[in-house]
Chain A
């Protein structure tokens, strides 16, 4: 794409800011280095990082604890371990979708197709499982990954804004649902209707379902990928500054498209979890779930501008949103629209908080 002088100037400005912040980082590293010799690595890291990087995550954690404490104080039944496990059972699909979204948001992109891909996977699962059985799982995952790949390819190679490209993906996936069937398809196959619902007893009269382990496995895998692999470091680097990442020789194309493939695959898996949860497939499933996923990721402390955030924060974001829903359900008199209003209010608080933190780092955000 040809850039006008104005745009180039803007990018140069950003690069200069980047250089400045890199120097800052170097200085910080040097400080860290000195204090490491003095007091041991752990305390040094805690001191250097705790103040800014972890603050949004810690605020989310604190809010979650406060909310849960309040709930337990009002309703004796609220404060049980089973309620926490139920949060995972009821929000497993949202957690998986939000994890995929975290990858995309970390690169500085956005994926609006999540809800539609969830609906499409639920629909595919419902229509395929009677015919192909276990093979449904790889097929659905492949469809999700392919959709993600196509969107990523168009975004990177044809320089279409992520917003527009994933919007087209959303229309396509939603439309394909209705091409499969306009009516709802119910699911009776044991792969969705029985096996995921086998209660597994835990000590203390609690139980979990196998779907929880799927969600936790995805979380673990995502954590490992983001923090311990080249691909993960590349994601953070692109989100920090794509130009710099390119100049450093990082495989920008592969990493960026990879982020959308991860998101597509996660959405497909989330769709299957959603299918086990609702035992049906219809084109109107999960409308607007991409907003819930984005909200969970932002509340979990990931910057929408990319380059900063933690997938464990996303877990906290999902748990916080889930416990608000549970609390409103316990309350009984409050109507469901309060969930939206409270979610919006929380978003506001966290975005302003992030703004306050990041404004110390760079003046123009």
Chain B
């Protein structure tokens, strides 16, 4: 029993399972997945589809957090990438042309890479604290996105572009396939090669890792570039899903959700270790929470209260200091965190 509860994926997985099961109370058909017109439909598929951008961003965030950093600018990158892609497509005579869409996607992702490079250089070369370095782009980025869209919401009508975030391929939502590919690619690159270990070494102690011969600065830059790249893809997905680019609201606060997903997944903000599977679980927990609240009919704005409670609960359960104080003589069981939060 203790061997299972000690596993670092136990708590995130248990929380996700409890949340999914809780949905059965409100929707008995929650776990049903149907095949209509060759497409998969169902609540679980919805969670995956709407969770795909968050999963992508959280994967990038995991790499950055593994190096002991943090990337606050991903929300702004989401807005910029979507804005650029949509404004290019909107300017074309034929919005349906595949070539034009590919150009737009390539340019948007290219710009995302540049933004990631900017963050990475600030952190690795200039030596600014990551939270501050990425704060600059977080503040300025939305302004840039609005500059690109000229303050308007650009709507587009392009079937090839809609594939990215809203359409299906081989029965699966294309966005989910992208997320699976990025997850697999990242997992193979970091866990089947030394890259993951090197990133963790940099996160543990950047100076020490440099002294043993790791190119710490280059790895740091790489982590931020990867994070921005993931955010860029997510920006394409979000704008493609709503068929519009909104410089002000696209990806608003998604950086906070992504950081939460990483933390819920068991990756410490201190850096030095990371869990990709945990991150995906964390992102799915957050998305399941939103979906659950929508299906129970609570006003969507009130979601935030539940989110606060769940975030507090999850973080407290994972906090060794809290566990030591709360369950000193008891077996670990599902606690009542809202009450436990009030000081004795």
Do B138 and A175 touch (CB < 8 A)?
no
Determine which of A10, A179, A335, A344 lies in contact with B137 in the assembled complex, contact meaning CB atoms within 8 Å: A344
Determine which of B131, B142, B302, B305 lies in contact with A337 in the assembled complex, contact meaning CB atoms within 8 Å: B142
Is A254 interfacial (CB-CB < 8 Å)? no
Most chain B beta carbons < 10 A, residue from A153, A168, A179: A168
A-B interface, 8 closest residue pairs, ranked by CB to CB distance from nearest:
A344-B140, A340-B143, A175-B304, A175-B305, A172-B308, A178-B301, A337-B146, A341-B143
Determine which of B131, B302, B307 lies in contact with A110 in the assembled complex, contact meaning CB atoms within 8 Å: B131
CA distance A112 to B70 in the complex (A): 15
CA distance A337 to B246 in the complex (A): 13
Do B341 and A167 touch (CB < 8 A)?
no
Do B302 and A179 touch (CB < 8 A)?
yes
Residues of A within 8 A of B137 (CB): 344
What are 16 A-B pairs at a CB distance below 8 A?
A6-B204, A7-B270, A157-B321, A159-B320, A159-B322, A160-B319, A164-B263, A168-B315, A171-B304, A171-B307, A175-B302, A178-B304, A283-B301, A295-B135, A298-B132, A343-B143
Nearest CB on A from B154, distance (A): 15
Residues of B within 8 A of A1 (CB): 319-321
Q: Is the interface of A mostly helix, strand, loop or mixed?
A: helix
CA distance A304 to B343 in the complex (A): 29
Do B304 and A291 touch (CB < 8 A)?
no
Residues of B within 8 A of A344 (CB): 136-137, 139-141, 143
Nearest CB on B from A72, distance (A): 26
Determine which of B269, B312, B320, B325 lies in contact with A161 in the assembled complex, contact meaning CB atoms within 8 Å: B269
Do A160 and B315 touch (CB < 8 A)?
yes
CA distance A67 to B106 in the complex (A): 40
Do B305 and A365 touch (CB < 8 A)?
no
Residues of B within 8 A of A175 (CB): 301-308
Nearest CB on B from A136, distance (A): 22
- Among listed A24-32, A42-50, A78-86, A345-353, interface-contacting one: A345-353
Residue in A closest to B311 when the chains form the complex, CB atoms:
A168
Is B166 interfacial (CB-CB < 8 Å)? no
Within 8 A of A (CB), among B238-267: 247, 256, 259-260, 263
Do A179 and B305 touch (CB < 8 A)?
yes
Given A10-B205, A160-B315: A304 touches B131 (CB 8 Å cut-off): yes
Is A228 interfacial (CB-CB < 8 Å)? no
Is A169 interfacial (CB-CB < 8 Å)? yes
Is A184 interfacial (CB-CB < 8 Å)? no
Binary contact track A333-365/B, C-beta < 8 Å → 1, others 0: 001111111011101100110010001000011
Is B4 interfacial (CB-CB < 8 Å)? no
- Among listed B109-117, B121-129, B179-187, interface-contacting one: B121-129
Given A153-B343, A164-B269: A171 touches B311 (CB 8 Å cut-off): yes
CA distance A121 to B299 in the complex (A): 21
Given A176-B305, A304-B132, A351-B132: A159 touches B260 (CB 8 Å cut-off): no
Is A150 interfacial (CB-CB < 8 Å)? yes
Is B207 interfacial (CB-CB < 8 Å)? yes
Is B147 interfacial (CB-CB < 8 Å)? yes
Do A178 and B256 touch (CB < 8 A)?
no
Do B127 and A347 touch (CB < 8 A)?
no
Given A110-B131, A164-B259: A172 touches B305 (CB 8 Å cut-off): yes
Most chain A beta carbons < 10 A, residue from B128, B139, B301: B139
Nearest CB on B from A259, distance (A): 17
CA distance A177 to B308 in the complex (A): 13
Within 8 A of A (CB), among B289-336: 299, 301-309, 311-312, 315-316, 319-322, 325
Is B151 interfacial (CB-CB < 8 Å)? yes
Residues of B within 8 A of A174 (CB): 304
Interface residues, chain B, with chain A CB atoms under 8 Å away: 70, 126-129, 131-133, 135-144, 146-147, 151, 204-205, 207, 247, 256, 259-260, 263, 269-270, 272, 299, 301-309, 311-312, 315-316, 319-322, 325, 341-343
Determine which of A182, A304, A348 lies in contact with B299 in the assembled complex, contact meaning CB atoms within 8 Å: A182
Is A294 interfacial (CB-CB < 8 Å)? yes
Do B341 and A150 touch (CB < 8 A)?
yes
Residues of A within 8 A of B272 (CB): 4, 6-7
Do A157 and B325 touch (CB < 8 A)?
yes
Residues of B within 8 A of A339 (CB): 143
Do B127 and A345 touch (CB < 8 A)?
no
Given A175-B306, A178-B304: A352 touches B126 (CB 8 Å cut-off): yes
Residues of B within 8 A of A142 (CB): none
CA distance A335 to B247 in the complex (A): 14
Determine which of A157, A179, A351 lies in contact with B128 in the assembled complex, contact meaning CB atoms within 8 Å: A351
Is A154 interfacial (CB-CB < 8 Å)? yes
Residue in B closest to A7 when the chains form the complex, CB atoms:
B270
Most chain B beta carbons < 10 A, residue from A1, A10, A345, A348: A348
Residues of B within 8 A of A167 (CB): 256, 259-260, 311
Residue in B closest to A165 when the chains form the complex, CB atoms:
B315
CA distance A30 to B132 in the complex (A): 35
Residue in A closest to B131 when the chains form the complex, CB atoms:
A304
CA distance A150 to B319 in the complex (A): 16
Do A158 and B128 touch (CB < 8 A)?
no
Nearest CB on B from A232, distance (A): 24
Is A2 interfacial (CB-CB < 8 Å)? yes
Is A243 interfacial (CB-CB < 8 Å)? no
Do A355 and B321 touch (CB < 8 A)?
no
Residues of B within 8 A of A308 (CB): none
Nearest CB on B from A251, distance (A): 16
CA distance A161 to B256 in the complex (A): 13
Residues of B within 8 A of A241 (CB): none
Residue in A closest to B137 when the chains form the complex, CB atoms:
A344
Give me 19 other A-B pairs in contact (C-beta within 8 A), A337-B142, A347-B136 excluded: A7-B272, A9-B205, A10-B205, A150-B341, A158-B319, A160-B319, A167-B256, A172-B309, A177-B301, A178-B305, A304-B132, A337-B146, A340-B140, A340-B142, A343-B139, A343-B140, A344-B137, A345-B140, A347-B135
Residues of B within 8 A of A161 (CB): 263, 269
Residues of B within 8 A of A335 (CB): 146, 151
CA distance A240 to B212 in the complex (A): 30
Nearest CB on B from A214, distance (A): 27
Nearest CB on A from B317, distance (A): 10
Residues of A within 8 A of B305 (CB): 171-172, 175-176, 178-179
Residues of B within 8 A of A168 (CB): 307-308, 311-312, 315
Nearest CB on A from B200, distance (A): 10
